Structure 1
Amino acid sequence: MNWIEPLTPWLLALVPIVLALGAATSARQPRERAWRTAQVSTLCGLVASTLLLALGAAGGLPAGEGGWQTAPLQLIMLLLANFIAFVVVRYSATYLQGEPRQTRFVALVQAVFASVSVAVLSDHLALFLLAWFAISMGMHQLLMFYPDRPRAALAAHKKFLFARAAELCALTAFVLLYLHHDTAQISVIVGAYGDHSVEGGTLSLAEQAAACLLALAALIKCAQLPLHGWLIQVVEAPTPVSATLHGGVINLGGYLLLLFSPLLLQSAPAQALVLVVAGLGSVLAALVMMTRISIKVRLAWSTSAQMGLMLVEIALGMVELALLHLLAHSCYKAYAFLGSGEAVEQDLLRRRAPGLSPSWGRWLSAGLISAAMVAGLVVLVRGVTDSPAFAANAPWVLLTGALTVLLAERGSERNSGDLVGFVGLAALVVLAYVGLKSLFAALLPETGHTISPWADLWMSALFLLLFAGYWLKRHGLHYRASQTLNRYCYAGFYLDEWVTRNTLRLWPHELPGRIKAKQLHTALRGSSL
């Protein structure tokens, strides 16, 4: 396929160009034509990204050409972004009927995903940072779709400030890497660490600082505690905006760490920063999520927890699991937000089929069965392969806990069934985990990273703490300690209040006043007359 090589830069540039043209055209068209244009442009982007991934898998694309990257990581992310864009546009065409600013919305969505396509394909530090900035500015406008809502304005203000802080961290890191390597080409910089020529602990001070700044930028972008409040409050925006944010944009912090993972995995301070902040944040966010009633708020807390877990996976060196997690989370969150209108029906089903609190005997038997299944699988996998992808113990601890809950909580009418059926389902989950992880490990280059025993022990302890907290909040609310924990979780540990108060003190922002229903009704009657 030598004839493809000169066309490669144009093929790669086709996706963002089509989306950008769609955005520019939609902004000048009537509503119906604007939606049709957006559907055509996002469909073209989806088809083009699918063909590019197929060509890349067949070896028909060169490693890098014309400032673009064609590695499996970039092509997979490109396909994911365009799939989310197509789904969101198709859904929004019906959901936003009657809204006065539909044309503005459809143009901004296409512009955001055009910038996402540039960011994931870019092989230049400056172009990557410019695309990242364009994504943030476009999302800011989408989050202010209802500018008269005080909570939406407050959330957008906090996100604006935190995004600038993350971009400043990334800019400083990029300057340090450019000065150290004398190149702005991302593939060259990452390749300097991917060949394992630099052993851990021998990085220069500038490289260590760059790794820590990249880790900090990813933590901020992924809305990790305590800078998470804006992510919870932006549910004031329309549901398609939430699907765009949670399904296609917030994952870019994880993509940044995936992209520079060879550098991160050779910097012990950067790894420790991610493991401590994201590890604790994922556990706390998961516990807080259990106290929320609103489906969109629950999903927002879940995103913060899932992003923290994904960053932890990268810091442990399990980049293949992190990429699998990123893809699954994006598709699930987009589906969950777009299907949030069915929350009432699902709640009624839960009320008609309340779960029974498992006995201690059932918990013990479920734990023993899960531990035996996972232990047998660990022995089998490590006997067949010595891949570092299966070296860590923390994921096996998490999997054992999840299977224990699955097997123990099978007592409601909705989850009724015999033990054999649930054991079969658990075995299917285990096999899917190993199979998909092996597939993504084959797609990505090996990191050659040896997992630190202390990091592995730290995450194993956090996962055990997570399941202990889950049991207390789900089955032990009659204990005083559980009631105290539930009170703090319901308040989000007061972290966002502290951050909001200090943020507004450092950078005040005038919020729109609350609209009184009677005044609005009178104004509408006056305008109609």
Structure 2
Amino acid sequence: MLPSLLTPSLVLAAPLLLLLVGLVPSTWANAQARLMARLCGAAAWLAFGSALLAAAAHPFDEARAWTLYNLELPGGLGTFTIGTYVNSVTVIMLLLVAFVGAIVTRYARNYMDGDPNRGRFHKWLALTLAAILTLIASGNLLMFALAWIATSLCLHQLLMFYRERPTAVLAAHKKFIASRIGDLSLLAAIALIGFTLNTLQFEEMHRILEAMEGPLPTALEIAALLIVLSAALKSAQFPLHGWLLQVMEAPTPVSALLHAGIVNAGAFLVIRMSPIMSHSELALGALAVVGLITLALASLVMLTQTSIKVSLAWSTTAQMGFMLLECGLGLYSLAMLHLVAHSLYKAHAFLASGSGVDAFRAPALPHASPGVGPVRLLLTLAGGGLITVAVGAVFGITAGHQPALLAAGTVVAIAVTQLLLQMAGVMSGDDFLRRGLGLSAIVSVCYFALHALFEAALQGSVLPVQDAAGPFQIWLTQAFVGVFLVLLIFQQVLKYAPAFLGDGIYMHLYNGLYIDVYITRLLQRLWPSPTLESVTPPAPFAPVPSTGA
């Protein structure tokens, strides 16, 4: 009995440690700010230790559920329970978020030193981390939804930390509206699932839907679409993506936690709800289309930005679009790998953004690269593509088996091509071919090996897509590859010859095609900001195009 309870107990201990620190009153927290910072940091590192032990104790072979409290709900909705649901997805996410949270709290201890309200900051930071970890460990859909809402409300307090800044208030208000719409969508989806399956337990839901044959009931189709809406809003997808780009007024540790952890909750929701999502071709298609549009827009706009933190924000939006696109294609293990890699990278990128500015300002000797011509572009694309296809074939990835995986491999080829093009500017001849193609082979092998590792780890924790090689999936993969090829060309043009597009197009891209301006005006009419009189959306302006030097 004791070994079976060890992992759930360790999983539950992680959020409880931070919750105890977060329940400290704000007045006491500010009065004992230094002690509060140490308590928050200690709780975060203990939570990481608990997550690490849980990962070591989990056998990665099956899910385990543990219930502390039961409450029967009326109308055949199911049961509300307080407990945990531990599978491979739970363990990986818990370990990732606890690690990022521990690093962010340690950074925040020095970053916030001297601020008169730093005690209150650490209180809400602890509560936010506790809510995220509770979300990950939840074994019940209603408990999951409550943690989902709590995460948003606690984050709102951190985004509003500097209440005297009008732009911070406006951005937080836009985030608040998007989150409430997402909350209502998730609650409606959970109600439909409960009334249809008569259960709200993740374990039972997975078991029922795994055995289900035939078309999905209409109520669950609607629930799947509502889950897509909630995930898209949580992950700042088109067209309500603007708030993520404007919450930079919050302290840097908040930006790191938001971009490395909380914004990934949309992809986590889809992966956790894979038993329903995999049965709904319509929901997966809608998710893939939204992700693809967001990815294309954000990737282009990001290249025109002059602020490092704003560029990182657009990068996060693009990465979230890519992640949800992977989920829409049914590549859940690939999306989980992407989530882990993006979280670690983006946490480092934000916490080291000041060093990035210093590196950019440092003098450097420019290389004498005349740019990349179309012939070299095609040759490097072909070289990277052949290497990636060959490595993918070794790992058993073919067009007939699963076209989405082959499409993902093609995207790897495009990414490898970017590396080859960067080398082409500083190398020539045999040295370029030897080192460039060798690097392509290493990147491809690492990519497919990690994918195989995550696919094995998530075996049994997610429900695969029913028709992985159907006509709709094939159409999506073709659009997927086509958009990435167009993005590659545009990125090269923006980098090496921005004047080719004209000042007008460059200016429009810099301002995000003004989508957020119209969304902000609409939201202000429907639900005005508390500081509407003193806040107006930032006016678009024309930047000086970068020369790529």
Equivalent positions of 1:81-92 (< 5 A) are 81-92=97-108
Structure 2 residue aligned with 1:37: 39
User: Partner residue of 2:292?
Assistant: 279
Deviation track 1:99-120 (CA, whole Å, cap 9, x = no partner) reads: 1110011111111111111111
1:361 is aligned to 375
The answer to whether 1:119 aligns with 2:109 is: no
> 1:483: Cα distance to partner?
4.6
Give CA deviations for 1:67-126 in whole Å, capped at 9, x if unaligned. Answer: 311101011111111111100010011111111110011111111111111111111111
The change in CA–CA distance for 1:344 and 1:352 in structure 2 (over 3 A counts) is farther
Relative to the length of structure 2, the TM-score reads 0.87
What's the offset of the Cα at 1:35? 1.3
* Residue 101 of structure 1: aligned partner: 117
1:501 aligns with 2:518: no
Which one of 316, 322, 325 corresponds to residue 329 of structure 2?
316
Task: Name the counterpart of 1:521.
Answer: none
The code of the aligned residue for 1:462 comes to V
Q: Please list the CA deviations of residues 279-319 of structure 1 after superposition, one character each: whole Å capped at 9, or x if unmatched.
A: 11111101100010111000100000000100010110110
- The RMSD of aligned alpha carbons is 2.4
Offset at 1:353? 3.1
Query: In the aligned structure 2, how far is the partner of 1:302 from the partner of 1:350?
Result: 26
Specify the alignment match of 2:50 in structure 1.
48
Where 1:250 maps in the other structure, the secondary structure is helix
Match of 2:388 in 1: 374
The residue number in structure 1 matching 2:210 is 194
Q: Provide closer, same or farther for how the CA distance between residues 353 and 24 of structure 1 changes in structure 2, counting only shifts above 3 A.
A: farther
Equivalent pair of 1:244/1:334 in contact (CA under 8 Å):
yes
* Residues 1:65 and 2:102 are matched in the alignment: no
Q: Distance in 1 between matches of 2:135 and 2:416?
A: 37
Q: For residue 5 of structure 1, what is the amino acid of its counterpart? A: S
- Does 1:338 find its partner at 2:351? yes
Q: State the 1:149 CA deviation.
A: 1.1
What is the CA deviation profile of residues 212-261 of structure 1, one whole-angstrom value per residue up to 9, with x for unaligned ones?
00001101110011101110000111100100101111111110001112
Q: How far 1:448 moved relative to its partner?
A: 4.9
Counterpart-to-counterpart distance in 2, 1:375 and 1:11: 42
Q: Which residue of 1 aligns with 2:538?
A: none
Q: Relative to structure 2, which stretch is displaced further, 310-319 or 345-354?
A: 345-354
TM-fit CA distance, 1:514: 6.9
Question: How many angstroms does 1:478 deviate by?
Answer: 3.7
Please give the alpha-carbon distance, in whole angstroms, between the structure 2 residues aligned to 1:65 and 1:114. 19
What's the counterpart of residue 446 of structure 2? 432
Q: 1:461 to 1:361 in 2, by over 3 A?
A: closer
Task: Tell me the equivalent position of 1:527.
Answer: none
Q: Residue 283 of structure 1 aligns to which amino acid in structure 2? A: A
Change (3 A) 1:189 1:414: farther
| 2:308 and 2:357 in contact (8 A); partners too | no
For residues 408 and 359 of structure 1, the distance between their equivalents in structure 2, rounded to whole angstroms, comes to 10
Residue matched to 2:271: 258
SS of structure 1 residue aligned to 2:240: coil
Partner secondary structure for residue 248 of structure 2 = helix
Q: Does 1:474 align with 2:489?
A: no
In the alignment, is the contact (CA less than 8 A) between 1:25 and 1:37 conserved in 2? Answer: no
Q: Give me the whole-angstrom Cα distance separating, in 2, the residues matched to 1:150 and 1:514.
A: 7
- The alpha-carbon distance between structure 1 residues 340 and 414, as it changes in their structure 2 partners (threshold 3 A), is farther
**Distance across 2 between alignment mates of 1:254 and 1:15:** 22
Identity of aligned residues (%): 33
1:29-67 Cα deviation digits (max 9, x unpaired): 5111111111111111000000001111366x8621213
Residues 243 and 338 of structure 1 are in contact (CA less than 8 Å); yes or no, is this contact kept in structure 2? yes
Higher deviation after alignment, 226-235 or 404-413:
404-413
Say whether 1:5 aligns with 2:4. Answer: yes
**1:217 maps to which of 226, 230, 249:** 230
The code of the aligned residue for 2:522 comes to: N
For the residues of structure 2 that align with 1:21 and 1:56, how far apart are their CA atoms?
Answer: 25
Alpha-carbon offset, residue 441 of structure 1: 0.3
| TM-superposed deviation, 1:356 | 4.5
Q: Aligned pair in 2 of structure 1 residues 159, 415: CA closer, same or farther (>3 Å)?
A: farther
Residues 391 and 441 in structure 2, CA contact (< 8 A), matched pair in contact too: no
**Aligned pair 1:400/2:413, yes or no?**
yes
Q: AA paired with 2:142?
A: A
Provide the residue aligned with 2:170 in structure 1: 154
- The structure 2 residue matched to 1:457, chosen from 466, 473, 478, is 478
Change (3 A) 1:384 1:394: closer
- In structure 2, relative to structure 1, the CA distance for the partners of 1:503 and 1:45 (3 Å cut) is same
Give per-residue Cα distances to partners, 1:445-466, cap 9 Å, x unaligned.
2615414211111211221222
Higher deviation after alignment, 301-310 or 416-425 = 416-425
Distance 1:224-1:364 versus aligned 2 partners, 3 A rule:
same
CA distance, structure 2, for counterparts of residue 499 and residue 304 of structure 1? 16
Alpha-carbon contact 1:476-1:482 (below 8 Å) kept? no
Return the letter of the residue paired with 2:517: E
Distance in 2, Cα, partners of 1:289 & 1:385: 32
The offset of 1:204, in angstroms, is 1.3
Change (3 A) 1:301 1:367: same
SS of residue matched to 1:64:
strand
Q: Number of residues paired by the alignment?
A: 508
2:406 alignment partner AA: N
- Pair 1:488 & 2:497 matched: no
Aligned amino acid, residue 48 of structure 1: S
Q: Whole-Å Cα distance in 2 between the matches of residues 395 and 55 of structure 1?
A: 33
How far apart are the structure 1 equivalents of 2:361 and 2:424? 18
CA contact (8 A) 1:254 1:310 kept: yes
Give the match's secondary structure for 2:163.
Answer: coil
Distance (Å, rounded) in 1 between the aligned partners of 2:502 and 2:13: 55
For structure 2, the residue ranges without an aligned partner over 5 or more in a row are 68-82, 536-549
Structure-2 change in CA distance of 1:288 and 1:211 (3 Å): same
Could you tell which deviates more after superposition, 340-349 or 249-258?
340-349
Distance 1:356 1:144, change over 3 A: farther
Partner of 2:301: 288
Distance 1:367 1:414, change over 3 A: closer
The CA distance in 2 between the partners of 1:249 and 1:473, in whole Å, is 31
User: Secondary structure of 2:325's partner?
Assistant: helix
Q: CA 1:214/1:350 → structure 2, altered by over 3 Å: closer, same or farther?
A: farther
Give yes or no for contact 2:397–2:405 (8 Å, CA) kept in 1: no
Q: How many Å separate the matches in 1 of 2:399 and 2:58?
A: 27
Choose which of 246, 257, 270 in structure 2 pairs with 1:244: 257
For the Cα contact (< 8 Å) 1:26–1:35, is it kept in 2? Answer: no
Change in 2 beyond 3 A, CA 1:407/1:383: closer
Answer yes or no: is 1:305 the counterpart of 2:322: no
After the TM superposition, which of the residue ranges 429-438 and 468-477 deviates more from structure 2? Answer: 468-477
How far did 1:20 drift? 0.7
Contact 1:5 1:62 in 2 (8 A): no
Separation in structure 2 between the aligned mates of residue 350 and residue 116 of structure 1, nearest angstrom: 42
Change in Cα spacing, 1:391 to 1:245, as seen in structure 2 (3 Å) is: closer
Q: Is the 8 A contact 2:377 2:421 kept in 1?
A: yes
For residue 198 of structure 1, give the secondary structure of its aligned residue in structure 2: coil
Which position in structure 1 is the counterpart of 2:543? none
Instruction: Using structure 1 for the length normalisation, give the TM-score.
Output: 0.91
5+ residue gaps in structure 1?
A: 516-529
- The answer to whether the 8 A contact 1:68-1:122 is kept is yes
